[in-house]
Amino acid sequence: MTKLGFIGLGIMGKPMAEHLIAAGNEVYLHSIPSIPDDLVKKGGIACECGRDVAQKADIIFIMVPDTPHVEAVLFSEDGVAAGLSAGKTVVDMSSISPLATKDFAKKIADLGCGYVDGPVSGGEVGAINATLSIMAGGNEAEFAKVKPFFELMGKNITLVGEAGDGQVAKVANQIIVALNIEAVGEALLFASKAGADPEKVRQALMGGFASSKILEIHGERMVKRTFNPGFRIELHQKDLNLALSNAKSMGLSLPNTATAQELFNACTANGGSQWDHSGMVKALELLANHKVAEDA
């Protein structure tokens, strides 16, 4: 039996680790500030630090918010790198900088270990239902080693290219998601201001070419005013910062991505950093002095 580690047991990481445990794997756990008790009750094994996880596990999964967090998990004094031995594999499923990922992969390779970046799309619902899309970067042998475990957490699993390329795909994903949220928000705002029932308009659009997961799930959130986070605005801001900063370094203009980021910034300025990213519609509503629907 392959021994697994999982570090980062938040909104996304907890259900992902739970699927690995439910499949009968031996899973070593670490998270800040604490390890969820129910994961331990279901068979997960608590560890004091990343080094402890790496010493005990053959494949170590990481799911934390941002680039500095991954760096700390890997290379702090009690981090994963301190507990690795040759032949083990690190799998970072966080959404972080592609350039930093390439650097992390090289440092782990220098220790005789494999590295796969496998950022995900699908949010909390996808994590809970094990239907995440996983965009992987790494060599084919390491990908083959970890793919059976990816299949316990997701459905659409693609090896995009070398280490870092999975992160490139995730940044592209986040650009598309942000712009679609903005488009759905504008459309429902238009419908509401014109006097139509935005929920019925949403239902009508679901049967046509405008249909999308964003319209289905986030459009419903906009109408029902349910902005409790499946994916927080502050995390999407982080991802768009990656898009815009990397685009700048490549001499690339992403004008609509920049607009979406400014709308997220407006939400944060109004206390919305913890809203679900469908809450972008609130920034559009402020500009229009009109709401898609009244708050409950």
Catalytic residues: 170
Contact call for residues 137 and 165 (beta carbons, < 8 A) = yes
Pairing status of strand 26-30 against strand 59-62: unpaired
What phi and psi, each to the nearest 5 degrees, are found at residue 288? Answer: -90, -10
- HSE-up of residue 94 (Cα within 13 Å, Cβ side): 31
The b/e string for 67-90 (b: 16+ C-beta within 10 A; e otherwise) is bebbbbbbeeeebbbbbbeeebbb
What is the number of other CB atoms lying within 10 angstroms of the CB of residue 58? 16
Given its phi and psi angles, is residue 287 left (phi above 0), alpha (psi -120 to 50 degrees) or beta?
Answer: alpha
User: Can you tell me the distance from the alpha carbon of 16 to that of 9, in angstroms, rounded to the nearest whole number?
Assistant: 8
Residue 114 parent element (H or E): strand 114-117
Taking CA 31 as the corner, what is the angle to CA 125 and CA 158, rounded to the nearest 5 degrees? 45
